[in-house]
A and B are shown apart, each in its own frame.
Chain A
């Protein structure tokens, strides 16, 4: 869409009318646009339109909104100052005192409406193109802001605090005791950079940071809702993410692969000679696996759904996820109506749908042609398995038929005849007759019933023997049959290519204009997407990863910052639009983003830069003076103390108990549920606990993520609902967390193991402290522990330690 016809999109009209931003303060029209135009714009709520001077002067149902030169008589001012009955905007959001002053001054000055911006450069900060990086360091930016605000940065944290912080941050695991000692006693001035490099190079890093990304792309192993369909290959995408991060795959490539790996690096593993594909082939397969991100969203599966509807729901998830994860803009609202607050229109939304409409999910071999040949040569083994199953089934059906016959024998020929007539053709009398038989069948458990009764099937001696023999043979045959052909679930192309039509209010049946693929007009900056169904996603991926793309690098750099500090430079990492927060350090964010692109989009280089800064290494301690100015630490005068997230907590408990199994990758590990936990499962066979107990101690990132049934310990500790992208987890403090940590079977078992570890050492109490908290017990603590042990056990002491705030919070 070009600048000329932007006017067809309601919100963009206003967007272009904006006055150019002053250096710091916003102009009155900008303030009105930001706070008011959502309702008092195209929607003209209460008849008021604050998009133009005329509209503001004219006012709405309550009369004139602005009286030029007379702030006291201007309803607008009263409303936004929230001094009278009418308080705007409603709810928690308020216009800042500073902005209210700007409006007052503006009305005093006669309410001049500044000339429209006709340059085509968007006025909203995050939609502006990225400019080259400045050469200033992170600390220079942050410290400048601190002194501007009258804040004093806290000193560096001590070395023990730092290494503990770094381990939790980069690995999601507590620092090993001996590592803490080594680092604490290392006088090398390069000790910290060395430690950072060492931790970034560990495979544990990808597991921890992969989990962060999995939050963003709403990862799960099942589709949710009642049937909660299983995704057999979702784990390949999870492993792809972990290995990409471990290998420091450039972020632009990471984005390209997920959106269009198949279109950018078309390849076919099957065309490989031999059993061992080349690295290039495997990389291309990985790029395809990356598109699996679009095959793991929520799937609503009901018999009554229509194909078009399923597709529409899929495209909705795809566009929403793309918007939130890669663009950092919530597009969801625009499915149903032009976005009230952002210049994203319903057409933009459907144009994004059209980008993906030419695609669909497909299973492709994850092995070479030779393995496929091998699989097929062993296929007759499967036929035998299937035959055995059929033979067993036949015996079961024969026995069942005897129950049916017994019921039927109780009825007259009239009834049996009536029942033989298809339902729709029975007359009233036949219906009544057939009903008798059907009722009896239900009572015998032969049809579904309220009581859950099953038919009383019994086998003859011969049947029992034969059935058992066949079941044994089935076991033997299954053991000999070839393993299942390994596949990956990826995006491919639809044939024929479905068209996308403008829908209304999210109703897939209401079809308006046909919509061609495109990127959102306001940030397209000339990019168009060809109709060619084989290259639509490729065009989107290339546009997103242009070095000066306004959003991609900014959004990702902010995510990284958010995960390190617990809060992003933009507090709303998934919303860089107008409903999101504005950055606390805009120049720092832009400089980091530009530097990130210039460094070849290397995630680890970016993180190294952050981790080596003083800003990251500050103490998390209190400071009364600073707190008076900036209690929320928005300006980073200290480090934010953070509670371990759900997965880190579980992994840390397993780590200190010594039980943690560091095996990487593969299909999800399924831990046991207690009887109470499993009470709410819809169908018990949907939680097939892993048989090997070692699997139960795998790292949390490898556990089964079931949409309809989150692992109870995780949901208690605020794991996100994978219904949609999550950019920042809640960290609530609720009593059931205490109950879980004090009373659950898992915690009892792990604390026992931890006690067993400690009791082998010469000083068990001190050992407990060192393993669990990374430090020696103080004399006072020792005394308390000894007093406690006089009538309790080391197991219980271990459990107490695992419940300590010090265990759960990272300074």
Chain B
């Protein structure tokens, strides 16, 4: 794993007096001018009152087709098999020259859902049951037509890799509600193309970086005791270590870093005790497990991640990001250059039920109001077929399309049952009420009570924002109204 990690020592004063392991010796020795070192993860007040407290970001790695899921395009049926009319202009794509390939209508069936009549395709039958909670933004766009740039735009608001990720900004802005779990957790289902910077803290302190949590094996790297070491024996090691460290520290009492490092062992020990508990979903009821699809092989993996996400948010984790479609072997995830429909049937089958289960579970526990659930990917996909001619011609796939695509969000006080913006008639470009990644990020921050213009970090001589100097189309108020 890559993480240069997140969890910084908790407030030392607090640690010293409330230490789970009770090091009276530390509490007595006091005199820690360490109080000068503020805890970067202390919970902070938002800029204004807001319902949203936490985020669960469902990232469809590879780029899901908006045309086959949340953005119906009846005009494509008429134009199926024909080249795109010249009026739609030209654009660059990763593999495809759009003048050489035919348009391809979606074979999916779109239906009006819920009270609101929000149109969602039959790939997301389960999720569609929550249509009245969903706001689909159909006019998203950026200019990154490769995975790395697309993922970077979505995750950091910048095309070049290395800026702080949304989760880092959120944790920087609001701090953490838990001191024995990381504030920002990422669950992968394989390699992601943007790599560790997808959940990196960029120029923000490393304390704000995402921590990778696994659903199999040790949940966090090195969080399990070495094989053959009993809890008691490790406790004795720990006691001896802290004792020796304390002797070393006393004549160096002015050095707050030494105290901080002693405290970091306390926190590590707490994480070691609490992480496996949170990660252990075996105690969830059979009904809950079924709700997330844990009883079916196809949905078990993403379902486990979704259930874990709910448990983490419940325990005070601020930002959880889940990936569907990462690389383990030769899977391509949502990157349907080839046989888009077949690909999406398979991929949607993996995530649809778990997502619906997550929404239902959050709602029944009263957590949906305080949790923003965001669904999206690198970009959308082209209305025409992929242009890669090698390997037997057109394979009914779709190339990357960053110029118009959909994301949806639910919860955090947002009203739902609505569509914002629109793409053109073939779903090539965002056309009405266009939403950039800056706008999307500004909107997300708004739901959490943060003004994207005031969430700044001073670096290299200037104040940086998640939204750069943009975010004009902040949807925040509209989402809530």
Chain A residues packing against B (C-beta within 8 Å): 38, 90-93, 224-226, 300, 302-304, 330, 340-341, 419, 422-424, 426-428, 431, 434-435, 438-439, 441-443, 447-452, 454, 575, 579, 620-622, 624, 627, 641, 643, 675-677, 679-683, 708-710, 712, 715-716, 718-719, 721, 723, 730-740, 742-745, 748, 780-781, 784-785, 788, 791-792, 796-797, 799-800, 803-806, 808-809, 811
Interface residues of B in 288-308 (CB under 8 A from A): none
- Measured CB to CB, the closest approach of chain A to B239, in angstroms, equals 9
Tell me how far the C-beta of A570 lies from the nearest C-beta in chain B, rounded to whole angstroms.
15
Report yes or no: A226 in contact with B147, Cβ–Cβ below 8 A. yes
Secondary structure class of chain B's binding surface, majority of residues? loop
* Distance A808 CA – B248 CA, assembled complex (angstroms): 12
Q: How far, in whole Å, are A81 and B262 apart by their CA atoms in the complex? A: 40
Binding-face segment, B365-373, B389-397, B436-444: B389-397
A735 touches B261 (CB 8 A): no
Q: Chain A interface: which of B115-123, B325-333, B423-431?
A: B325-333
Given contacts A427-B81, A682-B192, contact A736 B5 (CB under 8 A): yes
CB contact between B5 and one of A443, A735, A808 (< 8 Å): that residue: A735
By a CB distance below 8 angstroms, the chain B residues around A451 are 331, 346
Interface 1/0 per residue, B201-228 and A, CB below 8 Å: 0000111000110100110111111100
Q: Which residues of B contact A340 (CB under 8 A)?
A: 461-462
What is the minimal beta-carbon distance from A803 to any residue of chain B, in angstroms?
A: 5
User: How far is A719 from B2 in the complex, measured between Cα atoms in Å?
Assistant: 11
A788:B331 contact, CB within 8 angstroms: no
Can you offer 7 A-B residue contacts whose CB atoms are under 8 A? A225-B161, A419-B392, A423-B101, A454-B330, A682-B191, A734-B206, A743-B224
Once A450-B343, A715-B4, A738-B268 are accepted as A-B contacts, the answer to whether A330 and B241 lie under 8 Å apart by CB is no
Give CA–CA (A622, B343) in the complex, Å.
65
Query: Chain A: interface secondary structure?
Result: loop
Q: Is B128 an interface residue (CB 8 A)?
A: no
A-B contact sample (19 more), CB < 8 A, given A424-B100, A792-B233: A91-B458, A226-B193, A434-B394, A448-B337, A450-B333, A452-B330, A575-B460, A676-B214, A677-B221, A732-B8, A734-B7, A734-B207, A734-B264, A735-B5, A737-B264, A738-B265, A738-B268, A739-B268, A806-B244
Considering only CB atoms, which chain B residue lies closest to A441 in the complex?
Answer: B392
A115 to B462, CA, bound (A): 30
A423–B234 alpha-carbon span in the complex (Å): 65
A748 neighbours in B (Cβ, 8 Å): 226
Provide the bound-state CA to CA distance between A800 and B100, in Å.
Answer: 66
A621 partner residues in chain B, CB cutoff 8 A: 251-252
How far is A368 from B2 in the complex, measured between Cα atoms in Å?
Answer: 42
Chain A residues whose CB sits within 8 angstroms of the CB of B260 once the complex forms? 733
Contact flag A675-B217 (CB < 8 Å), given A641-B252, A734-B6, A748-B226 = yes
Q: Are A622 and B338 in contact (CB under 8 A)?
A: no
Contact (A712, B248) CB under 8 Å given A438-B392, A739-B220: no
Give the shortest distance, in Å, between B42 (CB) and chain A (any CB): 15
B101 touches A424 (CB 8 A): yes
Q: How far does the alpha carbon of A443 sit from the alpha carbon of B396 in the complex, in Å?
A: 13
User: Which of A718, A723, A743 neighbours the largest number of chain B CB atoms within 10 Å of its CB?
Assistant: A743
Bound-state CA distance A284–B448 (Å) is 61
In whole angstroms, how far apart are the Cα atoms of A556 and B225 in the complex? 45
User: Which residues in chain B, 118-159, are within 8 Å of chain A measured between CB atoms?
Assistant: 145-148
Given contacts A422-B393, A442-B342, contact A805 B271 (CB under 8 A): no
User: Are A784 and B221 in touch, CB under 8 angstroms?
Assistant: no
Residue of A nearest to B146 (CB): A302
In the bound complex, do residue A622 and residue B195 qualify as a contact, i.e. CB atoms below 8 Å apart? no
Q: Are A443 and B342 in contact (CB under 8 A)?
A: yes
Instruction: Judge whether B100 and A680 touch: CB under 8 Å.
Output: no
B257 proximal to A (CB < 8 A): yes
Do the beta carbons of A804 and B241 come within 8 Å of each other?
yes
In the complex, A419→B394 CA distance in Å? 9
Decide: A447 near B391, CB < 8 A? Known: A90-B463, A643-B257, A710-B196: yes
Check A739/B339 contact, CB under 8 A, given A451-B346, A682-B191, A682-B195: no
3 closest A-B pairs by CB: A579-B461, A428-B81, A738-B268
CA gap between A641 and B257 in the complex, in Å: 10
- Does B248 lie within 8 Å of A679, measured CB to CB? no
Per-residue contact bits, chain B 379-393, to A (CB 8 Å; 1 contact, 0 not): 000000100010111
Interface pair B236/A447, CB less than 8 Å apart: no
Contact A442 B338 (CB under 8 A): yes
B304 to chain A, nearest CB (A): 15
- Residues on B close to A: CB < 8 A? 1-9, 80-81, 92-95, 100-102, 145-148, 161-162, 188, 191-196, 205-207, 211-212, 214, 217-218, 220-226, 229, 233-234, 236-238, 240-241, 243-245, 247-249, 251-255, 257-258, 260-262, 264-265, 267-269, 271-272, 327-334, 336-339, 342-343, 346-347, 385, 389, 391-396, 456, 458, 460-463
Task: Name the distance in Å between B317's Cβ and chain A's nearest Cβ.
Answer: 15
Is the Cβ of B95 less than 8 Å from the Cβ of A679?
no
A723-B161, A743-B225 as given contacts; A715 in contact with B240, CB under 8 Å? no
Interchain CB contact under 8 A, A423 and B244: no
The answer to whether A679 touches B342, judged by C-beta atoms less than 8 angstroms apart, is: no
Find chain A residues with CB under 8 A from B236 CB: 788, 791-792
**Provided the pairs A303-B94, A715-B3 are in contact, do residues A682 and B206 lie with their beta carbons within 8 angstroms?**
no
Chain B residues lying within 8 Å of A799, measured Cβ to Cβ, are: 237
Residues of A within 8 A of B221 (CB): 676-677, 712, 736, 739-740
Q: In whole angstroms, how far apart are the Cα atoms of A748 and B191 in the complex? A: 28
Residue of B nearest to A787 (CB): B240
Q: Which residues of A contact B240 (CB under 8 A)?
A: 784-785, 788, 797, 800
Question: B205 contacts A732, CB within 8 Å?
Answer: yes
* A304 near B145: Cβ-Cβ < 8 Å: yes
B395: which A residues are within 8 A, CB to CB? 438, 442, 447
- Using known A-B contacts A740-B222, A745-B226, determine if residue A439 contacts B339 with beta carbons closer than 8 Å: yes
A422 contacts across to B, CB distance below 8 A: 389, 393
| Residues of A with C-beta under 8 A to B342 | 439, 442-443, 449-450
Minimal beta-carbon separation of A344 from chain B (angstroms): 13
| B268 contacts A448, C-beta separation under 8 Å | no
Q: Across the two chains, which residue of chain A brings its CB closest to B97?
A: A424
Task: Give min CB distance, A348 to chain B, whole Å.
Answer: 18
From A434, A737, A796, B393 is in contact (CB under 8 Å) with A434
Our pick among A303, A743, A788, A808 for the contact of B223 (Cβ within 8 Å) is A743
Q: By the criterion CB–CB under 8 Å, are A742 and B461 in contact? A: no
Cα of A724 to Cα of B329 in the assembled complex, Å: 31
Nearest B residue (CB) for A427: B81
> What residues on A are CB-neighbors of B7 within 8 Å?
734-736
- Is A423 a contact partner of B2 (Cβ separation < 8 A)? no
A349 to nearest B CB, angstroms? 16
Q: Which residues of A contact B252 (CB under 8 A)?
A: 620-622, 641, 811
Between A443, A579, A641, A715, the greatest number of chain B beta carbons within 10 A of the residue's beta carbon is seen for: A715
Q: Which residue of A lies closest to B1 (CB)?
A: A680
Q: How far is the CA of A681 from the CA of B247 in the complex (A)?
A: 41
Set of chain B residues within 8 Å of A448, measured between Cβ atoms: 330, 332, 337-338
Cβ contact within 8 Å between B191 and A438: no
- Report the minimal beta-carbon distance from A91 to chain B, rounded to whole angstroms: 4
Q: Are the CB atoms of B331 and A452 closer together than 8 Å?
A: yes
Chain B residues positioned under 8 Å from A738 (CB to CB)? 261, 264-265, 267-269
Residue of A nearest to B152 (CB): A225
B393 touches A734 (CB 8 A): no
Q: How far is the CA of A739 from the CA of B234 in the complex (A)?
A: 12
Q: Which residues on the B side are within 8 Å of A708 (C-beta)?
A: 195-196
Task: Decide: A732 near B148, CB < 8 A? Known: A680-B188, A743-B224.
Answer: no
Instruction: Decide: A800 near B206, CB < 8 A? Known: A423-B101, A423-B385, A723-B162.
Output: no
Q: Are B254 and A622 in contact (CB under 8 A)?
A: yes
Question: In the complex the two chains form, what is the Cα distance from A744 to B223 in whole Å?
Answer: 9
In Å, the complex CA distance between A194 and B12 comes to 44
Q: Are B249 and A805 in contact (CB under 8 A)?
A: yes
Partner of B244, one of A710, A712, A792, A800: A800
Note all chain A residues with C-beta closer than 8 A to B222.
Answer: 676, 736, 739-740, 742-744
